[in-house]
Amino acid sequence: MTTHWPLWEVFVRSRRGLSHTHAGSLHAPDAEMALRNARDLYTRRGEGVSIWVVPAESVTASSPDEKDPFFEPSGDKTYRHPTFYAIPEGVKHL
């Protein structure tokens, strides 16, 4: 009898980072084991402060083959680009 564990996507927030980044994937029987395995596999040197594990089947992504038509609608929304705004003197992080 062959048992297939589900695939989990792992996101890690580093000590110096503000956001989680995709670290990789792993197989585990449940979320708790996926967290433990992710900790052991992706934060061996103590660089992580937070880990997210998400069942791979729950991730929905756009197709790279359809990137032009998918992202095209944002091209006509120039007001979303910061080129139209003056940055006040002394503002370091905007």
List pLDDT tens digits, range 10-36.
999 998 888 999 999 999 999 999 999
Q: What are phi and psi of 75, to 5 degrees?
A: -65, -30
Q: Which of 38-42, 45-49, 63-67, 78-82 has the lowest mean pLDDT?
A: 78-82
Q: Percent of the chain beyond pLDDT 90?
A: 50
Q: Is the pTM of this model over 0.75?
A: no
What are the residues whose beta carbons fall under 8 Å from the beta carbon of 13, sequence distance 6 or more?
19, 20, 21, 48, 49, 50, 51
- Domain 7-62: what homologous superfamily? Phenylacetic acid degradation B (3.10.20.520)
The answer to whether 23 touches 12, Cβ cutoff 8 Å, is yes
Residue ranges of domains in the chain: 7-62
The pLDDT assigned to 71 comes to 73
Q: Work out the average pLDDT over 45-60.
A: 93
If pLDDT is split at 50, 70 and 90, which confidence band does 74 have? low
Mean pLDDT estimate for the chain: 86
